[in-house]
């Protein structure tokens, strides 16, 4: 049986891209993997770790023989990378390559793809399948990658009506090879759900640590931090660049969720200030019921 992907090109070989490579190799679902990206040091490290078989620092060169191109770079770098992919495929006359990404917001990525992939070559952006694996750790870089990252996790694809069905099929099968469950939804719904479930919690965590860092007792805060504080702030160790880019690229849905959350905290503040134990009890009980219902 032929492997699923003959030539895979992975642009960005850190935690997300690197873990995909390791998982596909473990599943024997890929023949060769060429890595690409801005930092030669990262690419060398990825090659040493057998994440990729070879690398190119010139993205347009890296994609020329690709059957599948996986873009896992910070959202802020996506536009430049898409342009280089487009140039490379046109120059090589590559009419087969399917492109997918791992960006945490999907409406803007889809807009970028439609703006840039006007040719690739011939079918426009139809062979671009926007995707987002719901997985990660607070660590980054090739050394953080591991084959099991996507096992039993969800991957969301947000194809449009124009997206090529064979392209959706290949990207779906690729993710299934990593052990992930694949679901599709529209990009707008994705962005709203992710703002609530991932982007807002990261802002909450960064904000909590940041607002405490100048108090006199900051050392004691960390010394006496029990599990609760450690859990709430764990993701404040996430990559700042990646999170700046996510915020700027999913601005309105995140602002909507932040507004909702700020209103909630105002309500809790007022209830506590008024000594309104009944109100606090009602909120805590509802929250516990909701969380217990959905997590058990």
Site string for a second copy, 34-53 (x = CB under 8 A): --------------------
The DSSP-derived string for 123-174 is TGGGGEE-EEEE---S--SGGG--TTTTTT-EEEE---TTS-HHHHHHHHHH
Q: Does 264 bind a second copy (CB under 8 A)?
A: yes
143 binds a second copy (CB under 8 A): no
Interface positions, 86-105, toward a second copy (CB under 8 A): none
CA 265 – CA 271 distance, rounded (Å): 10
- Residue 16 C-beta: closest distance to a second copy, Å: 12
Q: Interaction with a second copy in 267-286: which residues (CB under 8 A)?
A: 268-269, 272-273, 275, 277, 280-281, 283-286
CA gap 282, 236 in Å, rounded: 29
**Complex with a second copy: residue 115 or 234, whichever CB lies closer:** 234
Yes or no: say if 38 and 14 are a contact pair by the CB < 8 Å rule: no
For residues 97 and 203, which CB has a smaller minimum distance to a second copy in the complex? 203
**Which of 157, 103, 158, 98 is CA-nearest to residue 125?**
98
Q: What angle do CA 252, 255, 258 make, to 5 degrees?
A: 155
> Taking contact as CB under 8 A, which single stretch among the options 37-45, 66-74, 86-94, 149-157 is the one that binds a second copy?
149-157
Note whether 146 binds a second copy by CB under 8 A: no
Residue 230 has a CB neighbour count (10 Å cut-off) of 10
Round to whole Å and give the CA distance between 210 and 236: 9
227 lines the binding site for a second copy (CB under 8 A) = yes
User: Does 19 sit near a second copy (CB under 8 A)?
Assistant: no
Q: Does 255 help bind a second copy (rule: CB under 8 A)? A: yes
Residue 46: CB minimum distance to a second copy, A = 23
**Considering the complex, what minimum distance in angstroms separates the CB of residue 199 from a second copy?**
9
| Binding of a second copy by 262 (CB under 8 A) | yes
Binding-site string for a second copy from residue 153 to residue 172, where x marks contact by CB under 8 A and - marks none: xx-x----------------
Residue 144 burial class via C-beta count within 10 angstroms: exposed 0-12, middle 13-18, buried 19 and up: middle
C-alpha span between 270 and 26 (Å, rounded): 54
181-220: contacts with a second copy (CB under 8 A): 189, 192-194, 196-198, 200-213, 215, 217-220
């Amino acid at each position: 049986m032929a492997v699923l992907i003959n030539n895979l090109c992975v642009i960005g070989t850190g935690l997300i891209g690197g873990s995909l490579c390791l998982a596909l190799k473990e599943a024997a679902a890929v023949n060769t993997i060429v890595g690409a990206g801005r930092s030669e040091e990262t690419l060398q490290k990825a090659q040493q770790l057998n994440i990729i078989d070879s690398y190119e620092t010139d993205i347009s060169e890296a994609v020329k023989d690709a059957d599948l191109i996986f873009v896992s770079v910070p959202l802020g770098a996506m536009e430049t990378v898409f342009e280089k992919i487009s140039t490379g495929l046109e120059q090589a006359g590559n009419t087969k390559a399917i492109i997918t990404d791992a960006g945490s917001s999907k409406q803007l990525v889809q807009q970028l793809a439609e703006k840039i992939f006007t040719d690739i070559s011939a079918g426009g952006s139809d062979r671009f399948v926007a995707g987002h694996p719901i997985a990660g750790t607070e660590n980054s870089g090739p050394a953080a990658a591991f084959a099991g990252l996507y096992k039993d996790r969800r991957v969301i694809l947000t194809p449009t009506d124009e997206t090529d069905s064979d392209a959706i099929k290949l990207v779906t099968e690729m993710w299934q090879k990593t052990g992930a469950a694949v679901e599709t939804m529209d990009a707008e719904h994705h962005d709203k759900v992710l703002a609530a479930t991932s982007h807002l919690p990261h802002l909450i965590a960064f904000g909590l640590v940041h607002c405490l860092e100048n108090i006199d007792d900051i050392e004691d805060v960390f010394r006496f931090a029990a599990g609760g504080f450690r859990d709430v702030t764990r993701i404040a160790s996430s990559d700042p660049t990646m999170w700046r880019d996510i915020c700027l690229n999913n601005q309105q849905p995140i602002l909507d969720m932040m507004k909702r959350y700020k209103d909630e905290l105002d309500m809790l503040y007022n209830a506590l200030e008024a000594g309104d134990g009944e109100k606090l009890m009602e909120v805590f009980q509802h929250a516990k019921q909701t969380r217990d219902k959905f997590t058990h």
